[in-house]
Amino acid sequence: MSNPTTKKRGVEVLLDPALNKSTAFTEAEREALGIVGLVPDVTESEDLQLRRVLQQLGHKSTDLDRYIYLVNLLDHDETLFYRTIMSDPARFLPIVYDPTIGEVCLKFGHIFRAPRGMYLSIERRGHVRDVLRNWPVEDVRFICVTDGGRILGLGDLGANGMGIPIGKLQLYTAAAGVPPRGLMPMYLDAGTNNEQYLQDPLYLGLRRKRPPTEELFSFVDEFMEAVQEVFPKCCVHFEDWTGADAVHLLQRYRDKYCVYNDDVQGTAGITLAGMINACKLKGTRLADERYLFLGAGSAGVGLANLLCSALVEQGLTLAQAQANVHMFDVNGLLESTRTDLFDFQRPYAHPHAPTRDFLAAIKSIKPTTIIGVSTIGGAFSRDVVETLSAIDERPIILALSNPTEHAECTAEQAYRWSNGKAIFAAGVQFPPVQYNGTTFLPGQANNFYIFPAIGMAVYATEAKRVPDELFIEAAKAVADQVPENLLKQGMLYPPQSNILETEIKTATRVATRIFDLGLAGVARPQDVEALIRSHVYNPQYQSFA
C-alpha cells in the first residue's frame, strides 16, 4: 500500500474540506489516515452521497435555506459541493449566485456560520503583505475583491457584500472548471456609509464611514503592489465597487497589472453577446442599431465602451460609434450642456435639448435598442415599450438590472406590450412566455457566461493582462453557441444546462486571442482546447491509499 498523499491524519483530514471524503473513504484509507471510528464504517460512492444531498435539499423550503445548506457543505466537503452544483447548473447556479445571493448579502451578518475568504481592513495599512501571507495557499491565481460599495442593485452593503466574491469564485469553478484551490474571495474593508449596518450589533465590518477617494485609492495601491509580490501569478477581479471608483480603479491598473472589473467588462461582454444574436434575428449589424441606455454608471459606460469597440471593428470610427450611443441617468439625458458628468461619461454627452423625461428622449432620439442598467424596477413602462415598437419593427429590449424586483420590465411585459415584436433579455431568468400562439424563450444576460471563461483562459495561459479584446472575443464565442432553433424563439444565450462545455469553448477562443496578442505566460500549444481541458477541475475525490 502506498503512502497517503497528505501529511494530515485523523480529525485534521476530516476538518479540511479539500481532503474530506466523509462517507467515501475506503477501508484502506481509513486505516492509513487514522480515521477508523471517526467516520461511519461504510464506503459510499459519490453518486450515493449526491443522492443524500439532493434529498436533504428537497426538505428546504426556500432558496436561502438551500444556500445556507450548500455553503455548509462546502465548508466540510468541497468535492461533494462542486459535484452537486455541477450536476445540474441550471438548478443550482441561481441558488449559489443570482438571484439568491442578493438576499444572502442583505442578511450576511445574520446567517454567518464561519469565515470564508480574506477580510482586509484599511486599518492594516502598511501591513498588507503580512496579511496576504496568512492565506494558506501559496499559488493564488485569482482574487475577487469588493469593498461592498455597490452590491448588485442593493447599494452600499459594506461587509455584507462578502457574499458576492464568495459566490463569483464558486462560479469560476462550477461554470468553467477553474480549480478552486487557487481562488481567494476578499472583502476590502474601508467602512460603510450604511447607517443601518453601522448600528447593527451583528454587522461584521469596520464601524466607520468610508474614507475620501484619495485615501481609499492609496490603500488599494498598497494591496495591488502586495499581490504582485505575494502571489505573482494572480489576476485581480474587481467586483461591485461604486460606479466612479470601479471605472477609475480599472483605468489606474489595467495597463500595469493582470486585472479586470466584471461589472464594467463582464456585463459589457454578455450584453454584447446578446446584441450580436439580436442583430442576427433582425438581419442587421451592430452598426445599424441606435442605442439608448437607462443608467450611465460603471456598468452602463463599460458596456457602451465595449460596444463602441465592437462597432469600430465593423468599420465605424470611434466618434461615429459613440455618436450612435445615448445615455440617460438619474439627472436626465447625458447631453453637452451637463456640468455634473464624470470624465468617463462625457464621450456620450451629445448635443441635445436637456430632458429628464425618458419617454421624451426615446421619441427624440428614436433608438432601436434600449438597455436598462438603472436598478429601477418597472422603468420600461408600457408607454416606453409601445413607443419603441412604433419606431422599430423588431425593437431590442435588454432589462439588465437585478435582483428580479429591479428589472426594468418583465419578459411578459416586453412581449405583450410590443405585440410579440420585441427581442428581449434580462439580467435575471424569466420563464417562457406564451403569446398569440408563440412560445418566447427570454434569455438571461448573466455575466457567468463570460467571466468564468475569461478566468479559465487567464488561468491556463497565465495571461499578463486582460484587455477589452478578450471580452469581445468571449461575447462572440458565447453568441455563436446558441442553437438556431432556440435563437428563433428569442433565446439570445446558450442553455445553462450545458454551461461547462459552453465555457470551455469560450475559454478556448479567449485563450487563442491571448496567444495572438502576445500576452501569455506559457508557450503556445498546438491544441489550445486541449490546454484548456487539461486544467478543468473534475469534482472527484482523490485517493489516499
The rounded radius of gyration (Å) of the Cα atoms in the chain is 24
- Catalytic, 168? Answer yes
Cell triple for 336? 453637452
Distance CA 362, CA 192 (A): 37
| Three-state DSSP state, 327 | strand
Name the domain count of the chain. 2
Residue 381 placed within a domain: yes
pLDDT, tens digit, for every residue of 455-470?
999 999 999 999 999 9
- Contact in structure between 81 and 118 (CB atoms under 8 Å): no
Residue 173 placed within a domain: no
pLDDT, tens digit, for every residue of 347-399?
999 999 999 999 999 999 999 999 999 989 999 999 999 999 999 999 999 99
Pick the catalytic residue from 67, 82, 168, 253: 168
Cα 456 to Cα 121, 446, 512: the distances in Å are 29, 17, 12
Distance CA 545, CA 543 (A): 6
- Of 540, 542, 493, which is closest to residue 87 (Cα–Cα)? 540
Distance CA 403, CA 183 (A): 25
Whole-structure pTM value: 0.92
Residue 499 placed within a domain: no
Q: Are strands 235-238 and 291-294 parallel, antiparallel or unpaired?
A: unpaired
Unique residue bearing C-alpha cell 452590491: 151
Distance CA 299, CA 262 (A): 9
CA 63 to chain centre: 19
Tell me the CATH number at 17.
1.20.1370.30
pLDDT of 3 reads 43
Residue 312 placed within a domain: yes
Tell me the CATH number at 321.
3.40.50.720
pLDDT of 428 reads 87
Q: What is the DSSP letter of 386?
A: H
Task: Using the 3D structure, point to which of 44, 69, 90 is the last residue of a domain.
Answer: 90
Residue 377 placed within a domain: yes
Residue 248 placed within a domain: no
Amino acid at 65: D
Residue 182 placed within a domain: no
Task: Using the 3D structure, point to which of 448, 464, 494 is the last residue of a domain.
Answer: 448
Residue 18 placed within a domain: yes
- Of 457, 451, 452, which is closest to residue 516 (Cα–Cα)? 457
Task: Using the 3D structure, point to which of 90, 106, 141 is the last residue of a domain.
Answer: 90
Q: One digit per residue, pLDDT tens: the chain, 545 residues?
A: 334 578 899 999 999 999 999 999 999 999 999 999 999 999 999 999 999 999 999 999 999 999 999 999 999 999 999 999 999 998 999 899 878 888 898 898 888 878 889 999 999 999 999 999 999 999 999 999 999 998 877 889 999 999 999 999 999 999 999 999 999 999 999 999 999 999 999 999 999 999 999 999 999 999 999 999 999 999 999 999 987 899 999 999 999 999 999 989 999 999 999 999 999 999 999 999 999 999 998 889 999 999 999 999 889 999 999 999 999 999 999 999 999 999 999 999 999 999 999 999 999 999 999 999 998 999 999 999 999 999 999 999 999 998 788 899 999 999 999 999 999 999 988 999 999 999 999 999 989 999 999 999 999 999 999 999 999 999 999 999 999 999 999 999 999 889 999 999 999 999 999 999 999 999 999 999 999 999 999 999 999 87
- Contact in structure between 142 and 169 (CB atoms under 8 Å): yes
What's the domain range around 275? 265-448
- Catalytic, 488? Answer no
pLDDT of 102 reads 86
pLDDT of 1 reads 33
